Amino acid sequence: MARTVGSSGPKTAEAIRAAGIRLIYEHGFEAMSLRQLAAEVGLQPGSLYKYFDTKQDLLFDIVREHLEDLLAKIADALDGIVDPVARLAAFAAFHLRYHMTLKSNVYIANMELRSLEPDNRAIIVAMRKRYEAILIDILREGQAAGALHAAEPRVAAFAILAMLTGICNWYRADGPMTQDELVTLHVDLVLGGVGAKRQAVHKAG
């Protein structure tokens, strides 16, 4: 039984994470049992503890890794872009593309905040705030430069994030619009919303 550990340890850990994401997405965190999770990856329930100490740790790990990834990738996406309107367009395009591909992780990160224990929750909330602050700063800079209207950048940022994240609810890779078309449509909604003019900004990625 213990043979799954050892050289295949990291692979097993990854399989457990993936199965955990799937089960939490389908049933909710509280309803997911460790027995169910173990069965999903072909382990005995007792063996799961070689990979994580508690169910709570697994949830925390899934949500934290999602946010670490998001924070690293947004930094890349904005790297080298100076103009606030161009940064806003790049932020919106990045957020949208990211949320078209990682739907269940995002869903869990948003929905199961309620299931995180207070200390874990505080860490995750702080990471979310770091991400939100990037958009708030862009709006603030744009407002200061007279390039857009965002008298309340914090609230505008929340509204924009909700709009862009909403794509998780209905996006299908085989839908009638391409990812590029959806990005253009949403970036136009965002820029128009704050009264900014779209510029010739194209960044690979």
Using the rule CB under 8 A, is 125 a contact of its own copies? no
The closest of 23, 74, 187, 200 to 15, measured between CA atoms, is 23
Question: Which stretch in 43-51, 57-65, 79-87, 152-160 sits in contact with its own copies by CB under 8 A?
Answer: 152-160
Query: Residue 127 is encoded by which pair of tokens?
Result: 């990471």
Please report the sign of the dihedral spanned by the C-alpha atoms of residue 75, residue 77, residue 81, residue 85. negative
Nearer to its own copies (CB atom), residue 130 or residue 149: 149
Q: Does 160 bind its own copies (CB under 8 A)?
A: yes
Q: Which of residues 166-195 bind its own copies (CB under 8 A)?
A: 166-167, 169-170, 177, 181-182, 185-186, 188-190, 192-195
- Residue 111 in the binding site for its own copies (CB under 8 A): yes
User: Are residues 71 and 130 in contact, defined by beta-carbon separation less than 8 angstroms?
Assistant: yes
Give dist(CA 165, CA 104) in Å, integer: 12
Nearer Cβ to its own copies, position 26 or 65? 26
- Longest Cα–Cα distance of the chain, Å, equals 65
Give the CA distances from residue 150 to residues 96, 139, 144, in Å, rounded to whole numbers and listed in that order.
21, 6, 9
Q: How far is the CB of 7 from its own copies (least distance, A)?
A: 36
95 in contact with its own copies (CB under 8 A)? no
31 is a site residue for its own copies (CB under 8 A) = yes
Tokens of 203: 């960044």
Residue from 9, 14, 26, 126 binding its own copies (CB under 8 A) = 26
Q: Are 103 and 171 in contact (CB under 8 A)?
A: yes
Instruction: Give dist(CA 182, CA 167) in Å, integer.
Output: 9
8, 11, 14, 30: which one binds its own copies (CB under 8 A): 30
- 109 near its own copies (CB under 8 A): no
**Chain positions contacting its own copies, by CB under 8 A:** 26-31, 110-111, 114, 149, 151-152, 155-156, 158-167, 169-170, 177, 181-182, 185-186, 188-190, 192-195
